Chains A and B, each alone.
Chain A
């Protein structure tokens, strides 16, 4: 009985090998040459409604603006040794510009950059550069401050909740800005922050949101890869939300949406590609601000009053005119120490060192 069952394995194996061998011998015809090949690495899914989708859409805009560019895009690339291999694969396929769209790819990208000096690399939020590696980011605290104003006027319980992946300085800066913005119009606001410890865990994000809402928060903010879970959970319980990363999230909260800060990388990516194609690309550290096309404020939701919207626009104008600084002193942290003196401000170049939470925020950074 056993032998009979096993007999067909071998012929099947031979057949399979034949098929493999036959196909090995016929290489694919080379596709028409594109003017530039761009390789893109995403840490998560391109349709996550958040961080990754924002990057993906930026690339899509670039493709639309520059039809002669060909894109090789890979999702869910872990930040382990594998990321280097993926980049090498892309370079072997002829990519001359690599977009390594996640913080954790920095060191792998630097190593690959060293190996291929004629390939250009761009990396978001990196803090180290190389002659062929540019780092870029859009500074969002000002936008969060504006959202804070809208939130501060809309909240009924004066309690805001924030679900944050990790206590990375740039994220803390955003939370501080949101809180300070809210306090500027509503000094009673207090913000609670919970760290989930990971950029993506919908189960934890939902539980964290519920925990914060149980504490009485009625405005939810988040910095996780996909804002969908937090926004949905807030909406279900009748709370408001301030979105992040991606404009499309608004549809998940038709009633409770206050506003959001989205990244729109299309213009920047188009510029990168153009520069590589006409040879004007240079390594630099690009920090976009409110004025740039890299940040877009989402439209306000129905809950925000017209007076609040006017206030937001006024403050926005003073940011753009340079008349106002987000982190203008005096600012104390939530342990009582003074972090910014009166008359001074914590500059946006120094956000990388912000490891504290402002007074009135309940939470731990370690």
Chain B
């Protein structure tokens, strides 16, 4: 299992020209579109119409475009949540769980401190969201640092525990007394809701995700920590012998990664829903994983991939209405995109 991480595609060295990477990616993407088109044709559906519908539905109107941005926010954060630990070959598939725990802790803050003014409350619940997800990620980090459980497994298992924990709270102690026993928390105070822009649903979380991307890039390329992380990633043994504390990096990176996913959870629950509910995430954690891998850990690439997948997942709803195929077929498209990238860049080492 240790080796599985190493048989990675080439996470490009920082110096890889990003323009040529984008062009290469563009070619691969079009190939993927072609492959998905074949799948649709096999089922008797018109792929051109599907693509036109998806893009028109999202990029063809201001509203559509704003919805793409709305989706991009949690996706980008989830992607960085995976990419950061991945620098030292940690596989974090726990985005879902970290997302939900972040939402949970943020909700606790919103419900219990509702009378604070917004400029205090929002940072407070943002912090709580980050803390919640971070602690959840730290569990896996700790177990891995001690050599007890692979983080791939522990994050996967903890995903389920997180969702159950959330359900426990919204069915029990935090259930809204007004909602006919239906599982959701009481609505958050207005001060706890992340503000949105221009009457769209695009909200302040956008800043969180952009900041996360920028910090990710800067830390990796400009700081000593980034250097040490890349050293660990290249040759863990040599790094250890040089005095770098791998265990500490494992825990810290799982904490930060989890925290970013938790921040996504907080943003989603605060800005979009305004209360804690059972269905908060349509798999952002896993899609974030796909994005991180599609972009091979490159910050600009992740933003582009998040944008792309946001278009696909947001635009996918329309396919049910116009083509009468289930919305989840877009999962196939996303999978194919990743297949194409993995198959070309795959390196066994």
Contact = CB atoms under 8 A, between A and B. Distances in A.
A–B touch (CB < 8 A): the answer is yes
A282 B310 CA distance: 38
29 contacts: A6-B344, A10-B27, A12-B30, A16-B30, A72-B321, A74-B321, A76-B327, A77-B327, A78-B282, A80-B279, A80-B281, A82-B282, A82-B314, A85-B67, A85-B317, A86-B317, A86-B321, A89-B317, A89-B318, A93-B321, A104-B182, A104-B278, A107-B275, A127-B178, A167-B171, A167-B181, A168-B182, A168-B183, A170-B181
Contacts of B280: 80
A51 to B, nearest CB: 15
Given A81-B268, A168-B183, 19 more contacts: A9-B31, A13-B26, A20-B51, A23-B48, A74-B317, A76-B328, A79-B278, A80-B280, A80-B281, A84-B201, A89-B321, A104-B182, A104-B278, A125-B180, A127-B179, A127-B180, A170-B181, A354-B181, A366-B171
Residue of A80, A86, A353 with highest tally of chain B CB at under 10 A: A80
A24 B52 contact: yes
B46 to A, nearest CB: 10
Given A13-B31, A127-B180, A104 B277 contact: yes
A197 interface: yes
A107 B70 CA distance: 18
Nearest to A22: B48
- B30, B273, B344, most chain A CB atoms within 10 A: B30
Interface in B265-295: 268, 272-275, 277-282
Contacts of A16: 30, 33-34, 37
Contacts of B328: 76
Contacts of B126: none
Contact of B183 (A19, A23, A82, A166): A166
Contact of A79 (B37, B277, B344): B277
B95 to A, nearest CB: 15
B12 interface: no
Given A23-B52, A81-B201, A104-B279, A366 B179 contact: no
Contacts of B18: none
A17 interface: yes
Contacts of A168: 180-183
A333 interface: no
Contact of A13 (B27, B37, B180, B318): B27
Contacts of A85: 67, 314, 317
A96 to B, nearest CB: 16
A13 B272 CA distance: 37
Interface string B168-184: 00011000001111110
B316 to A, nearest CB: 9
Interface residues of A, number: 49
Interface residues of B, number: 49
Contact of B326 (A23, A76, A89): A76
Interface in A80-105: 80-82, 84-86, 88-90, 92-93, 103-104
Contact of B272 (A72, A81, A104, A166): A81
Contacts of B244: none
A107 B273 contact: yes
B209 interface: no
Contact of B30 (A17, A80, A197): A17
A169 interface: yes
B331 interface: no
B195 to A, nearest CB: 15
A232 B108 CA distance: 42
A338 interface: no
A299 interface: no
A355 interface: yes
A99 to B, nearest CB: 14
B34, B71, B320 pick with most chain A CB within 10 angstroms: B320
A35 to B, nearest CB: 20
Contacts of A78: 279, 282
Given A20-B51, A85-B314, A103 B31 contact: no
Nearest to B179: A127
A20 B69 CA distance: 23
A95 to B, nearest CB: 10
Interface string B135-152: 000000000000000000
A172 B97 CA distance: 30
B27 A9 contact: yes
Contacts of A284: none
Nearest to A26: B52
A352 interface: yes
Interface string B156-194: 000000000001000110000011111100000000000
A12 B34 contact: yes
Contacts of A80: 272, 279-282
B7 interface: no
Contacts of A125: 180
A115 to B, nearest CB: 8
Contacts of B61: 92
A110 B178 CA distance: 16
Contacts of A6: 344
A48 to B, nearest CB: 13
B308 interface: no
